[in-house]
Chains A and B, each alone.
Chain A
């Protein structure tokens, strides 16, 4: 399958590329959600694997908002799902952050074990399984496709 992996962490992107290519998938990675949106419009992906919390990008902020928000972790994974659902039929959002570090992580619990359908896309949102200090994207993919 052709997979788009979006994560601002270099370690998670490297781990995901290694894990998923070892299983024979073609993997495109990006650290920017603006770039991710461009990619889903210009290329065809079978699966999108997304981080939940990513730094707000200066390009997406008006000049008055930049000082306050640029670089601040934002739960961009959720709106990315809504934007990508028309183009990608299997989407997973996986976060390594827990309740103690960010309030949005608590919202992830609501989705435990559930598959949500958004615009025809099957979506799983989860706390990410980890392996050797990085996200286990291969396991995330397995859970996404398991239903």
Chain B
């Protein structure tokens, strides 16, 4: 079963380019995108990508296992990383300005999808 990925960046513009790009990366790496964090059967998405601390906090409290990526600008990085430090297993910071090497968030995103696939298969 493919891991499910919920992407919500700027709900005022649900088809913005970054939204679509992240969805494409997800589906290209074995994931499938979903339109809701939790569906009507109360099944939660394996992974969520959101744009604000408030949305990430709510996602953390509304789900049990969903891994949440928070996109952030350089000016927001301190507060996002402070929040991440409090729940490192479930929250990842996603700087819009890309890091290099092992900190590359796209690498983390793809690895999270791959790990979700293995977990689902086991």
- Would you call B82 an interface residue if the criterion is a C-beta within 8 Å of the partner chain's C-beta atoms? yes
Contact flags A56-87 to B (C-beta < 8 A → 1, else 0) = 01110001001110111000000000000000
A8 within 8 A of B: yes
Q: How large is the interface on B (under 10, 10 to 19, 20 to 34, 35 or more residues)?
A: 10 to 19
Residues of A within 8 A of B10 (CB): none
The distance in angstroms between the C-alpha atoms of A105 and B82, with both chains bound, is 24
Cβ-neighbour of B57 out of A55, A67, A68 (below 8 A): A55
Among B58, B79, B86, chain A packs the most CB atoms within 10 A around the CB of B79
Docked pose: A138 CA to B45 CA in angstroms: 30
Q: Is B61 an interface residue (CB 8 A)?
A: yes
Q: How far is the CB of A67 from chain B (nearest CB, A)?
A: 4
Per-position 1/0 for B26-52, Cβ under 8 A of A? 000000000000000000000000001
How far is B80's CA from A67's CA once the two chains are assembled, in angstroms? 7
**Interface of B with A (CB < 8 Å)?**
52-54, 57-58, 61-64, 78-79, 82-83, 86-87
Q: Which of B57, B62, B82 has the most CB of A within 10 A?
A: B57
A31 within 8 A of B: yes
Residues of chain A touching chain B, judged by Cβ–Cβ distance below 8 Å, are: 8-11, 31-32, 55, 57-59, 63, 66-68, 70-72
Q: Complex: how many Å from CA A58 to CA B76? A: 12
A-chain residues with CB within 8 Å of residue B57 when the two chains form the complex: 32, 55, 57-58, 70-71
